[in-house]
Structure 1
Amino acid sequence: MTPTQLRKLDRELSEFLDSMTEGMGRTERRRALGGYLTGLLLDGERKSIEPMAARLVEAPEQTEAMRQRLQQCVSGAAWDDSEMRRRLARQLECEPPGLEALVIDDTGLPKKGVHSVGVARQYSGTLGRTENCQVAVSLHVAGEKGSGCIAMQLYLPEEWTRSRKRCKAAGVASGVKFQKKWQIALSQLDDALAWGVRRHLVLADAGYGDAREFRDGVRERGLHYLMGVQGTHKVWPPGAKPRQPQRALGQNGRPRTSSGAVTHVTG
């Protein structure tokens, strides 16, 4: 990138951050958040606070002070998560052209240890296998010319919610209860609609489409959907009255059933 392009990018990032955090605490805290986001965007594989702090300062002796500012910003300061997500959703809803879908998905984050919140051996579509990882449910607005994430919530497996000792050690609030992924997704849709996001078509893979409760919940919210389902589902056209085939007298084996498994459901 040219110096002019870098200056423009820096100005646009600052304007975006100001729009997301206006009125949320002191200027110093908001400036520290800007430093944290810059650290995430800079080159370097390690994105933990200490190596990012080293990349944000001009001299090594300034690293510790920067580390403390970043630590306070992300660990000690109380940010209004719901309000920031509302602002982001409203901005994304208005800016990218041609938005036409609300996309439900989940993302696997591989982990080595057992102490990170929500980590467990579980299936990750991102990794394509069962692995030791965290999984986060996300909601995106999308169209042919762009997309953006407006909600992301960590999925907490039931083995975690059954162990209050483990949750307390990881800093999970005592009131947090187990939720299936499709329940988290419905809550995210409720938030988006409350924020003024338009009623776009809902897209999801079979991990959500297989849950009839989720499909019904989407329709109850006045939304149409296109979702993947497993090929074992049976589908009949409206008005059909399927009946169990009768077993012929003396015939062995299982009775034949109607076929017609589909891979997508529309509502």
Structure 2
Amino acid sequence: MESQLSKGLVMDTEWKEDLEGWLEPFLIALGHKTRRRMCPAYIAGLIGPGDRKSVQPMASRASEIGYDQLHHFVAAGVWDSAPLEKVLVQEADRLVGDAAGFLVIDDTALPKKGTHSVGVAPQYASSLGKTANCQSLVSVTLASREVPVMVGLRLFLPDSWTSDVDKMTRAQVPKECQIARTKPEIAMEEIDRVIATGARFGCALADAGYGSSGSFRQALTDRGLLWAVGLSRRQNVYPSDVALIFPVASMGNKRKYHIPDQQPVSAETMLAKEKWKKVSWRRGTKGRLTCLFAARRVRVADGHRHRMLDNRVQAMPGDEVWLVGERRLTGEQKYYVSNLPADATLKMLAATIKARWICEQAHQQLKEELGLDHFEGRSWVGLHRHALM
């Protein structure tokens, strides 16, 4: 019995030494001696045994570190997380960075009781499929070869928070973050951070919560990125051969602006009569993954808006892109839009679109294995540091 206990202590020491070795680039970025000790201890608590990964139970399992020290490190210590975030992107790029890889934008909900934890409010949680009292984090994942590495998690503040300065001050929300920002705006800030660090990826992916924003898609294009994103089935689109004309008015002033020579229709209508084909994009644990897909070249109706002769306000056609539809075995239909090259095959489009689901695996692992949703503090700094760890 004594020898077994001794062997267990040796193994425990060995894996913690291995962890500190792996963390060395991060510890260099932390600098301060005490923080260099706290960081491995906190992460050891997250990846070690025990169901609950909040500060108190982690401290109780770590004989060499007390609760006050661990809590101070994550919630109150004066240190900048930006250097660690930079190292995280660099290490992720070393592991999975690939010109053929993906940068996946999504969000994940952390269910919470009460109203005092930063960002908590009744809001739609895509991971739950319903409105719930929760915190919502915009996530950024670098992925290749079906391996995801989360490189960013940023809290979204709903209106009930950004309209209440006192509430934000109590939760220690930084002044520069005490403004109303959409999830696509937060995502673009994170994408710029990842690009600036030099991470390699070939295509940005996002669901319709981001892809339905014309300004988000345009921002990706402006940065020279390839992208494939979800789209509302109700989004109006034009055929790719739509032309812009200057109709001659029978009376009144001459028109100042051109108008499309065809009417836009919804994405659903545009693909309804297309030929849908069964496409397999990869092999899963239960065999080949297949769905019905259809695609055609279109121009999304999200350009500048003009008032028509019949007094309707109509959005002009944007750049030419792929519109892709997916019909699942459940009968559910999904729609996507992508600026992949015009010669992209249907299988290439399907495989790119479906690569986004790898981030759901990362979300699940962060919650089930590493306690992402176990943090019990209320502050902005504490939540983001916990997520970073």
Q: For this structure pair, what is the TM-score category when the shorter chain's length is used for normalisation?
A: 0.7 to 0.9
Does the 8 Å CA contact 1:164/1:174 hold for their aligned counterparts? Answer: no
Shift of 1:73: 1.2
Residues 27/237 of structure 1: CA separation in 2 closer, same or farther (3 Å cut): same
Partner residue in 2 for 1:35: 41
Partner residue in 2 for 1:206: 208
Partner residue in 1 for 2:19: 13
Shift of 1:260: 0.5
Partner residue of 1:266 out of 319, 334, 338: 338
Residues 266/71 of structure 1: CA separation in 2 closer, same or farther (3 Å cut): same
Q: Distance in 1 between matches of 2:132 and 2:79?
A: 32
Give the partner amino acid of 2:125: S
Please give the secondary structure, in 1, of the residue aligned with 2:105.
strand
Shift of 1:5: 7.8
Residues 170/212 of structure 1: CA separation in 2 closer, same or farther (3 Å cut): same
Partner residue of 2:221 out of 197, 206, 219: 219
Q: Percent identity?
A: 33
More strand by share: 2
TM-score (norm 2): 0.59
Partner residue in 1 for 2:240: 238
Does the 8 Å CA contact 1:186/1:214 hold for their aligned counterparts? Answer: yes
Shift of 1:7: 6.4
Compute the RMSD of aligned alpha carbons: 2.4
Q: Distance in 2 between matches of 1:36 and 1:94?
A: 23
90-99 vs 175-184, which deviates more? 90-99
Unaligned runs of at least 5 residues, structure 2: 1-6, 244-259, 272-324, 326-334, 340-389
Unaligned runs of at least 5 residues, structure 1: 246-255
Aligned length: 250
Q: Distance in 2 between matches of 1:107 and 1:165?
A: 26
Q: Give runs of aligned pairs for residues 183-198 of structure 1, distance below 5 A.
A: 183-198=185-200
Q: Distance in 2 between matches of 1:207 and 1:16?
A: 36
Residues 257/66 of structure 1: CA separation in 2 closer, same or farther (3 Å cut): closer
TM-score (norm 1): 0.85
Please give the secondary structure, in 2, of the residue aligned with 1:235.
strand
Q: Distance in 2 between matches of 1:86 and 1:92?
A: 10
Q: Distance in 2 between matches of 1:23 and 1:155?
A: 27
116-125 vs 79-88, which deviates more? 79-88
Does the 8 Å CA contact 1:96/1:145 hold for their aligned counterparts? Answer: no
Please give the secondary structure, in 2, of the residue aligned with 1:186.
helix
Q: Deviations over 1:181-221 (max 9, x none)?
A: 00000001111111111252001110101011100010001
Q: Give runs of aligned pairs for residues 1-267 of structure 1, distance below 5 A.
A: 9-57=15-63, 66-96=66-96, 100-176=101-177, 177-241=179-243, 242-243=260-261, 259-260=269-270, 262=325, 263-267=335-339
Q: Distance in 2 between matches of 1:205 and 1:14?
A: 37
Q: Distance in 1 between matches of 2:34 and 2:180?
A: 37
Does the 8 Å CA contact 1:244/1:257 hold for their aligned counterparts? Answer: no
Does the 8 Å CA contact 2:237/2:265 hold for their aligned counterparts? Answer: no
Shift of 1:265: 0.5
Please give the secondary structure, in 2, of the residue aligned with 1:134.
strand
Q: Distance in 1 between matches of 2:105 and 2:236?
A: 24
Residues 97/138 of structure 1: CA separation in 2 closer, same or farther (3 Å cut): closer
Residues 6/119 of structure 1: CA separation in 2 closer, same or farther (3 Å cut): same
- Which structure is richer in relative contact order (CA contacts within 8 A, separation 6 or more)? 2
Q: Deviations over 1:204-244 (max 9, x none)?
A: 11010101110001000110101111111233343323546
Shift of 1:145: 3.9
Residues 6/51 of structure 1: CA separation in 2 closer, same or farther (3 Å cut): closer
Q: Deviations over 1:157-198 (max 9, x none)?
A: 122011011111212123321110000000011111111112
